[in-house]
Chain A
């Protein structure tokens, strides 16, 4: 009975306990009690994950009555990492939920579902065999569906989002089921350790790889399987969307890693190319949609697709490089991918929680109607701002370190000590760098827009003008996330080493801590010390600040009534740029990709058609993947359904006829 085992058991027990509590305590105490108990579940998960990441071993075996191996939970270092990430997010979400959850999302069902959602999510990476993996996966999926359905009362979007979400997550479940079935059939065992025996070069392996990647990809939100993200995230209660986007999506990533480096390591080169392409497309498409989105939660959802895309890009690049024996660069790339996982969890949680606070304070999700929140909600503003910097991958945040490592891995990948690795690599790497660069640039624009429009300038609507800072717990949770972002960004060295240890001992060779806590990549001779950078910035800033202090004594700042608007009276906030107008140039540039539908109606004055009375411009950007790929399939499915209905018209005779026909068929079959 090791500590890890205890931790695993504790999570399960706490989950049951918390659901019992939820149903027993009275309504007014419910949120507090259940929230705290959920936080405890995640704390246990975090502790367990940390232990496992540090190398602690231990397994929890649950015997089944079925004639299959018992369910075994036994996290390795990698699993521990993901358990830690999921649990850390879980803690924030639970704490935030205590104050945030209200109405339907504070119901018994929701809180119980949250408990199971968290435990399922935290135990997926602990699974040591296909059965328990799929079980935990399904617990996670169903619980999240229930949570999403919480305020279904609020109209059709919620229910349609739920339909999309459950359809996609069940699809992914089926794919996983199929993939693992084939794999365990090949390995003649459901335990992951046995599955490693299957050769990665065999055709079976390739089939399994494709199926599983599709399954995990749809959970991770890769294009074209991302359609549920932009629907589910905006409609779910904000703390739930935070949990989904920051933690649950990562389980898809974990699955991909499980397949690529644990179950079927050293696969053929085209696996890497496939992941590279999927990731690149997801990154570009996601960030483009995010850049033109004006619903803040939709924007965040699409940016999740982008980040997952980058993660898969790193994974794919690492596999490609490894298959050409550029191991050093390969390790750097995959460590970078893991860093992206951690960093994305760190900044996406506060972003969604911040969006929740905005929603709570103004009732608005549409950036076009926000503004000036920075002064009205300083704490939320600070957290959201720092998280935006992280999402935009600017120093000294975690996102920057991750992207820096990824780029270093890529540019040093194409050559191993001066020798060209191979043609595909030398073409893939520049393309990958270009994709990352464009993605980073657009992410910059996206989050400058998100923060600038929402928190700066003047309120664009009465709701925003009357905004107020949110309760303490809802301020603290995002701020913790913000602190984490800065901590990861300032002290990346130890983190990177830990991540490398999750990959394997040989990966640890390629990364080390430099200076105070900077990260160094000895094998490719590059280093980054954010603290040093910060110190340098501080040093050069000192003279400037002294000048400011001196001059501002003699020349104090004067506050003028109006912003400069040509001296006119009419200078109202509606004149400011909105999120839509902010993204408009970009929309034009990428017109061919996004294909927005524009609709201009001009009404003339009755007297003369040369005088315009009113002009109405409507512009909508729809998800082309959805309209182009899913709609046809769905309509086809509808048609099948209509045909199927013909079979059942309720007449007894027809049913008797069916059974009679069936009987005849059986007889014929037997007689043959």
Chain B
């Protein structure tokens, strides 16, 4: 495919990633965040596929399918199913939403600043999108720090992982299938465990507001 088209597609994918991350901070309802997470997974898979086609690497295409299956379908599905059973609704953030959005702006700017030395001189459009991956990592951390409910913290965690994956793909032009497979499976396990855990928390304490979990029980 032509370089211009390639750059365009990369930009679209990256833009989608950024947009979904911002919206995750913007929206409060957990279900909306999960939908966004799915969209993000699809966008990530799309990004990988574009790179694969551009570099004509079958492996990358395989990875993209894997990403689609895991980040785009499996993880959100698990989350959504669990949320549906609990009928979870909105989540109150520690930060007031306006401040959170402003800090998203600052974090993204920061991402650009720190990644400037890396990509400032790069020619490959993929590497120009690296800052967005870093921004996703930072935003993921922000969600982890500020959200109250364990589940939406989990979403933050997944966003963070998406960010790491995005950076990995964009810089190295793709990690090996095996590695990606391993990481994703670990992730799946983590998510499942955390779900069981939150389920227990709910059944034990009636809610999963992490703020309430101060003293240890035996």
Contact = CB atoms under 8 A, between A and B. Distances in A.
B120 to A, nearest CB: 7
A423 B116 contact: yes
A427 B113 contact: yes
Interface in B101-116: 109, 112-113, 116
- Give the interface residue-count category, chain B: under 10
Contacts of A427: 109, 112-113
A592 B99 CA distance: 10
Nearest to A426: B112
B120 A423 contact: yes
Contact of A423 (B96, B99, B112): B112
A415 to B, nearest CB: 15
B110 to A, nearest CB: 10
Interface in A467-494: none
Contacts of A423: 112-113, 116, 120
B113 A592 contact: no
Contacts of B120: 423
Interface in B85-100: 96, 99
Nearest to A431: B109
A592 B103 CA distance: 15
A423 B131 CA distance: 13
Contacts of B99: 592
Interface string A413-457: 000000000010001000000000000000000000000000000
Nearest to B110: A427
Contacts of B96: 592
Nearest to A427: B109
Interface in A263-282: none
Contacts of A592: 96, 99
Interface in B52-78: none
A551 B99 CA distance: 52
Contacts of B113: 423, 427
Interface in A162-212: none
A423 B121 CA distance: 12
Interface in B140-162: none
A423 B96 CA distance: 30
A427 B114 CA distance: 13
A427 B112 CA distance: 9
Contacts of B116: 423
Interface in A565-599: 592
Nearest to A423: B116
B7 to A, nearest CB: 16
A430 to B, nearest CB: 9
B80 to A, nearest CB: 34
A520 to B, nearest CB: 33
A285 B99 CA distance: 17
A427 B155 CA distance: 29
Nearest to A589: B98
A204 B120 CA distance: 33
A592 B102 CA distance: 14
A218 B59 CA distance: 64
A544 B204 CA distance: 71
Contacts of B112: 423, 427
Interface in A375-390: none
Contacts of B109: 427
A423 B99 CA distance: 25
A495 B200 CA distance: 74
Interface string B33-51: 0000000000000000000
A423 B113 CA distance: 7
Nearest to A434: B105
B38 to A, nearest CB: 31
B97 to A, nearest CB: 12
Nearest to A424: B113
A423 B111 CA distance: 12
A427 B109 CA distance: 7
B91 to A, nearest CB: 21
A592 B120 CA distance: 37
A423 B109 CA distance: 10
A423 B120 CA distance: 9
Nearest to A430: B109
Interface string A91-104: 00000000000000
A427 B116 CA distance: 12
A423 B112 CA distance: 9
A578 B63 CA distance: 64
A150 to B, nearest CB: 45
A535 to B, nearest CB: 41
B116 to A, nearest CB: 5
Nearest to A420: B120
B106 to A, nearest CB: 10
B70 to A, nearest CB: 35
B100 to A, nearest CB: 12
B150 to A, nearest CB: 27
A634 to B, nearest CB: 31
A536 B116 CA distance: 47
B96 to A, nearest CB: 7
A59 to B, nearest CB: 49
A413 B120 CA distance: 19
Nearest to A590: B98
A662 to B, nearest CB: 57
B154 to A, nearest CB: 28
Interface string B112-146: 11001000100000000000000000000000000
A423 B116 CA distance: 8
A427 B111 CA distance: 12
A427 B120 CA distance: 14
A602 to B, nearest CB: 27
A320 to B, nearest CB: 16
A421 to B, nearest CB: 13
A592 B97 CA distance: 13
Nearest to B120: A423
Interface string A399-413: 000000000000000
A636 B112 CA distance: 43
Nearest to B116: A423
Interface string A275-302: 0000000000000000000000000000
A506 to B, nearest CB: 30
A404 to B, nearest CB: 25
Nearest to B99: A592
A637 B141 CA distance: 44
B172 to A, nearest CB: 24
Interface string A60-92: 000000000000000000000000000000000
Most chain A CB within 10 A, of B96, B99, B116, is at B116
Interface in A508-534: none
B16 to A, nearest CB: 22
A592 B96 CA distance: 10
A427 B105 CA distance: 11
A661 B151 CA distance: 74
A318 B116 CA distance: 23
A423 B119 CA distance: 12
Interface in A592-640: 592
Given A423-B113, A427-B109, A427-B113, 6 more contacts: A423-B112, A423-B116, A423-B120, A427-B112, A592-B96, A592-B99
9 contacts: A423-B112, A423-B113, A423-B116, A423-B120, A427-B109, A427-B112, A427-B113, A592-B96, A592-B99
Interface of B: 96, 99, 109, 112-113, 116, 120
The 5 closest A-B pairs by CB, nearest first: A423-B116, A427-B109, A423-B113, A427-B113, A427-B112
